[in-house]
């Protein structure tokens, strides 16, 4: 048998039907659902008189719209249209009998944090959600990607997706990371290298010593942003770190089934000699803490750098860079660590887990954020929030001057009231610096949690290595 | 789904690279639970001032492109969020075909589900079509899906590739859920086998 990549193995294990032209029906093990991209799909089922084929494999949670301020059980905190969307999810979950974590359940949170936390996401699975950051679940060696609402409806009705296989790309990060460099810096550095379209048509497998050394949470951060590089999915082969994370989670297999599962999971790796269509290698020790300067996640530079000029680029990127600099209010040659910010957002499916909050606490403990700074910490789930409170992190944050919020997507996409105003400039641990993403005319610099913490203290983009 | 067979219409040039789905339809318009009515907010922040007045130099506000049915776009069109509201807005506005050097994966799939034909061509050919589109409303292109050809206003013919299954669905306006349900036996069989092999999943 010819050697296979990890992606080949998961793909082959999920093809329910293959047509002569190579179009496949891929069976879906877990379907995650949130309130923004699902109402039209449920409505479609209703109109066609269809049911959810596998409600036991379908998990819903409201996250995009929900307020993150205290007292949100009072639904008048939401705008009417948000309230209608969340209420529609309540109704659809009940009517179609799918698993559901309502807004006021302590297990509620961002769908990509809840799935792994509850043990829904496991190695070797196929996982989809009407959300591009479904790539996150690839950290478990699960084939996970975002889909549109028509596909949400297709999966609800048939538990399959119509797919053609992608190509294989290997992204290897060799060696060790230097202090102050995190999973977020790895994933941004890779996008800086490949560009936002570099992964189009591929599934990426991340490997190498620096990836192996990451915790599950770090691996989730890396895979989360595979989509920003254009890839359909990102994958990391499961290992003991993965098994240890999964064990004992509410929906992970128990007792005998656990042994059987682990035995299977141990077969999920890329065979020696398997073919990759594209290979990218970065040295872990070369990666520095990075920030974005523009309005595309590929606009990445080390914090020690300067704002580039449009002429530094080629082709269509020249005009795009000019537009970005104008939007961001930056001048070529300006030092990145002299850019002043007024807002800090810590949270999102990229960086809203407990280790991210610990990294922030380590930097800000016993210190105060800059006067006039608006700094917000939004845990990724109710359980992350509870854990941070138990560990005393919440006290550190509040003493430093951060707002300590309830769980949700919040200012990552600013669909709820957590938004930037015009020309406000934010150091953000989220995943997209697009125009208007965090609020109309808001300006976003993507950074790691430690870098965001450092920026909150100094009031400008800051090299966190000077603080540790 | 509306069929796509042949289109003869105005093409609007949007050479900007990395046009993301937040640009195509900003999140404040994602709160609807309907599929329709998004066209009036297509490219909202590029197209309108905050007071609702039009930004005159935005391409779709120019008199010659207000009825565009084709977009010639820069590289990596539709990147970012998976929101199907983006193709819903594009189709609702009246655009049925987009040409670029590359599309983001999810947007590309979403387009086909909504009667929109995304066409990938090499840079030189996109450049040629961009020039043609810049001529304005007198320069109408023809997109023939059956023949897999674009004909410029000068009569130049450019061939394009399209996945055979997706082409079949577009030409016939097929609902792919119905097609998949015809394969229910294969899904049943797969499910039974998978449950035996991986009972924890």
The answer to whether the CB of B11 falls within 8 A of the CB of B71 is yes
Instruction: Give the mean pLDDT of chain A.
Output: 97
| Residue partners of B192: CB distance under 8 A and separation at least 6 | none
Which of A286, A303, A329 is the last residue before a domain boundary?
A: A286
One domain for residues A134 and A189: no
- CA distances, A439 to each of A47, A420, B22 (Å): 35, 5, 11
Crossing angle for the helix pair B105-112 and B164-172, to the nearest 10 degrees: 40
Strand partners for A404 = A377
The answer to whether the CB of A132 falls within 8 A of the CB of A230 is no
Whether A92 and chain B come into contact, CB under 8 Å, resolves to no
Q: Which pLDDT value is given to residue B139?
A: 80
One domain for residues A57 and A194: no
pLDDT at B137 over 90: no
- Using CB atoms, pick whichever of B79, B84, B186 lies closest to residue A16: B186
User: What's the distance, CA A352 to chain centroid?
Assistant: 9
Over the stretch B4-23, which tens digit does the pLDDT of each residue have? 999 999 999 999 999 999 99
Structure tokens at B38: 């998004």
Over the stretch A329-380, which tens digit does the pLDDT of each residue have? 999 999 999 999 999 999 999 999 999 999 999 999 999 999 999 999 999 9
One domain for residues A157 and A206: no
Domain total in chain B: 1
Whose CA is closest to B80, among A135, A133, A380? A133
One domain for residues A191 and A117: no
One domain for residues A53 and A141: yes
A111 or A73, greater pLDDT = A111
- Model confidence at B164, in pLDDT bands (50, 70, 90)? very high
Q: Which CATH number goes with the domain that contains B134?
A: 3.20.19.10
Looking only at the bridges linking them, the beta strands covering A300-302 and A290-292 are antiparallel
Structure tokens at A402: 């951060």
Question: For residue B31, which residues of chain A lie inside 8 Å, CB to CB?
Answer: 36, 65, 79, 81-82, 84-85, 415
One domain for residues A24 and A142: yes
- Using CB atoms, pick whichever of B76, B163, B183 lies closest to residue A25: B183
Query: Does residue B180 lie in a domain region?
Result: no
- Using CB atoms, pick whichever of B18, B32, B183 lies closest to residue A196: B18
Shortest distance between the Cα of A55 and any Cα of chain B, in A, equals 13
Query: Does residue A155 lie in a domain region?
Result: yes
| Residue contact A159–B22, C-beta within 8 A | no
Domain range enclosing B17: 6-174
pLDDT at A76 over 90: no
Running DSSP on this structure, what letter comes out for residue A392? T
Query: Does residue B195 lie in a domain region?
Result: no
Q: Which pLDDT value is given to residue B1?
A: 85
Structure tokens at A214: 């990451």
- CA distances, B79 to each of A86, A298, B95, B141 (Å): 26, 12, 18, 26
| Residue partners of A313: CB distance under 8 A and separation at least 6 | A320, A321
Q: Which CATH number goes with the domain that contains A247?
A: 3.40.1060.10
Structure tokens at A369: 């954020």
Give the torsion through C-alpha atoms of A136, A142, A146, A152, to 10 deg: -130
One domain for residues A109 and A86: yes
pLDDT at A64 over 90: yes
The answer to whether the CB of B140 falls within 8 A of the CB of B69 is no
Helix (H) or strand (E) holding A167: strand A167-174
Give the whole-angstrom CA distance, residue A94 versus residue B128. Answer: 53
Whether A158 and chain B come into contact, CB under 8 Å, resolves to yes
Domain total in chain A: 3
Strand partners for A31 = A58, A128
* % of chain A exceeding 90 in pLDDT: 97
Give the whole-angstrom CA distance, residue A2 versus residue A279. Answer: 19
- CA distances, A186 to each of A127, A218, A447 (Å): 24, 10, 11
Query: Does residue A81 lie in a domain region?
Result: yes
Give the whole-angstrom CA distance, residue B129 versus residue B120. Answer: 12
Domain range enclosing A446: 290-467
First to last CA, chain B: 34
Q: Which CATH number goes with the domain that contains A409?
A: 3.30.499.10
The answer to whether the CB of B87 falls within 8 A of the CB of B111 is yes
Over the stretch A372-431, which tens digit does the pLDDT of each residue have? 999 999 999 999 999 999 999 999 999 999 999 999 999 999 999 999 999 999 999 999
Shortest distance between the Cα of A164 and any Cα of chain B, in A, equals 10
Query: Does residue A189 lie in a domain region?
Result: yes
Looking only at the bridges linking them, the beta strands covering B97-100 and A160-163 are unpaired
Which of A239, A263, A286 is the last residue before a domain boundary?
A: A286
| Residue contact A82–B31, C-beta within 8 A | yes
Q: Which pLDDT value is given to residue A75?
A: 86
Q: Which pLDDT value is given to residue A382?
A: 98
One domain for residues A452 and A309: yes
DSSP B162-188: --HHHHHHHHHT--HHHHHHTTHHHHH
pLDDT at A468 over 90: no
Over the stretch A299-319, which tens digit does the pLDDT of each residue have? 999 999 999 999 999 999 999
pLDDT at B138 over 90: no
Question: For residue B201, which residues of chain A lie inside 8 Å, CB to CB?
Answer: 29, 122, 124-125
Query: Does residue B199 lie in a domain region?
Result: no
* % of chain B exceeding 90 in pLDDT: 97
Size of interface A-B (CB pairs under 8 A): 187
Interface of A with B in 117-146 (CB under 8 A): 122, 124-125, 130-132, 145-146
Give the whole-angstrom CA distance, residue B104 versus residue A317. Answer: 17
One domain for residues A181 and A149: no
- CA distances, A358 to each of A19, A347, B164 (Å): 49, 12, 51
* Residue A353 three-state SS: coil
Give the whole-angstrom CA distance, residue B87 versus residue B107. Answer: 7
Which of A138, A163, A188 is the last residue before a domain boundary?
A: A163
* Residue A431 three-state SS: coil
pLDDT at B187 over 90: yes
Whether A29 and chain B come into contact, CB under 8 Å, resolves to yes
Give the whole-angstrom CA distance, residue A137 versus residue A151. Answer: 18
One domain for residues A106 and A171: no
The answer to whether the CB of B187 falls within 8 A of the CB of A25 is yes
Query: Does residue B188 lie in a domain region?
Result: no
One domain for residues A339 and A427: yes
Position of tokens 């969340």? A86
Query: Does residue A1 lie in a domain region?
Result: no
One domain for residues A270 and A320: no
Q: How many CB atoms lie within 10 A of CB A417?
A: 14
pLDDT at B175 over 90: no
Give the whole-angstrom CA distance, residue A319 versus residue A321. Answer: 5
| Residue contact B186–A323, C-beta within 8 A | no
Burial track B106-136 (b if 16+ CB lie within 10 A, e otherwise): bbbbbbbbbbbbbbbbeeebbebbbebbebb
- Using CB atoms, pick whichever of A149, A323, A440 lies closest to residue B84: A149
């Amino acid at each position: 048998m010819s050697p296979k990549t990890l992606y080949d193995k998961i793909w082959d294990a999920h093809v329910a039907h293959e047509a002569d032209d190579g179009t496949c029906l891929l069976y879906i093990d877990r379907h995650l659902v949130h309130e923004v991209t699902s109402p039209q799909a449920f409505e479609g089922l209703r109109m066609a008189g269809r049911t959810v084929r596998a409600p036991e494999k379908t998990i819903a949670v409201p996250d995009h719209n929900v307020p993150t301020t205290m007292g949100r059980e009072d639904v008048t905190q939401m705008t009417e249209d948000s309230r209608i969307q969340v209420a529609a999810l309540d109704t659809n979950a009940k009517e179609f009998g799918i698993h559901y974590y309502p807004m006021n359940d302590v297990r509620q949170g961002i769908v990509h944090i809840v799935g792994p936390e509850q043990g829904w996401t496991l190695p070797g699975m196929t996982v989809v959600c009407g959300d591009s950051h479904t790539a996150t679940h690839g950290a478990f060696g699960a084939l996970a990607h975002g889909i549109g609402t028509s596909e949400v409806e297709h999966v609800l009705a048939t538990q399959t997706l119509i797919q053609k296989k992608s190509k294989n790309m290997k992204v290897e990060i060799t060696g060790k990371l230097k202090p102050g460099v995190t999973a977020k810096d790895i994933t941004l550095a890779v996008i800086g290298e490949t560009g936002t379209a570099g992964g189009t048509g591929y599934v990426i497998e991340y490997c190498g010593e620096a990836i192996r050394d990451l915790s599950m949470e770090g691996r989730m951060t890396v895979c989360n942003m595979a989509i920003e590089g254009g890839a359909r999915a990102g994958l990391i082969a499961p290992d003991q770190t993965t098994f240890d994370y999964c064990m004992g989670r509410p929906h992970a297999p128990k007792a005998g089934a656990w042994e059987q599962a682990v035995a299977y999971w141990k077969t999920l790796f890329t065979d020696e000699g398997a073919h990759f269509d594209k290979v990218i290698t970065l040295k872990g020790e070369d990666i520095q803490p990075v920030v974005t300067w523009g309005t595309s996640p590929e606009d990445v530079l080390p914090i020690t750098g300067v704002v580039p000029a449009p002429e530094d680029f080629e082709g269509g990127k020249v005009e795009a860079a000019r537009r970005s600099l104008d939007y961001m209010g930056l001048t070529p040659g300006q030092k990145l660590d002299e850019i002043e910010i007024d807002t800090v957002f810590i949270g999102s499916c990229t960086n809203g887990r407990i280790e991210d909050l610990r990294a922030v606490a380590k930097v800000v403990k016993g210190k105060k954020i800059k006067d006039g700074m608006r700094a917000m910490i939004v845990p990724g789930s109710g359980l992350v929030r509870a854990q941070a409170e138990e560990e005393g992190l919440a006290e550190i944050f509040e003493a430093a001057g951060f707002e300590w919020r309830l769980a949700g997507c919040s200012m990552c996409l600013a669909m709820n009231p957590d938004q930037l105003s015009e020309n406000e400039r934010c150091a953000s641990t989220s995943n997209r610096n697009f125009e208007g993403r965090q609020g109309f005319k808001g300006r976003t610099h993507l950074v790691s949690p430690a870098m965001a913490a450092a920026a909150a203290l100094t009031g400008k983009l800051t090299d966190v290595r000077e603080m540790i | 789904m509306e069929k796509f067979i042949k289109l003869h219409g105005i093409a609007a040039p949007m050479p900007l690279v990395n046009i993301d789905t937040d640009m195509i339809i900003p999140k404040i318009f994602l709160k609807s639970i309907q599929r329709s009515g998004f066209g009036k907010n297509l490219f909202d922040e590029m197209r309108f001032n905050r007071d609702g007045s039009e930004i005159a130099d935005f391409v779709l506000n120019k008199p010659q492109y207000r009825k565009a049915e084709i977009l010639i776009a820069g590289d990596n069109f539709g990147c970012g969020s998976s929101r199907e509201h983006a193709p819903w807005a594009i189709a609702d506005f009246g655009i049925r075909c987009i040409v670029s050097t590359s599309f983001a994966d999810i947007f590309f799939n979403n387009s086909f589900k909504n009667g929109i034909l995304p066409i990938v061509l090499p840079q030189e050919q996109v450049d040629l079509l961009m020039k043609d589109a810049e001529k304005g409303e007198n320069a109408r292109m023809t997109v023939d899906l059956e023949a897999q050809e674009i004909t410029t206003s000068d009569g130049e013919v450019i061939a394009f590739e399209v996945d055979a299954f997706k082409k079949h669905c577009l030409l016939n306006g097929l609902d792919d859920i119905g097609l998949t349900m015809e394969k229910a036996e294969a899904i049943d069989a797969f499910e039974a086998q998978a449950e035996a092999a991986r009972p924890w999943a």
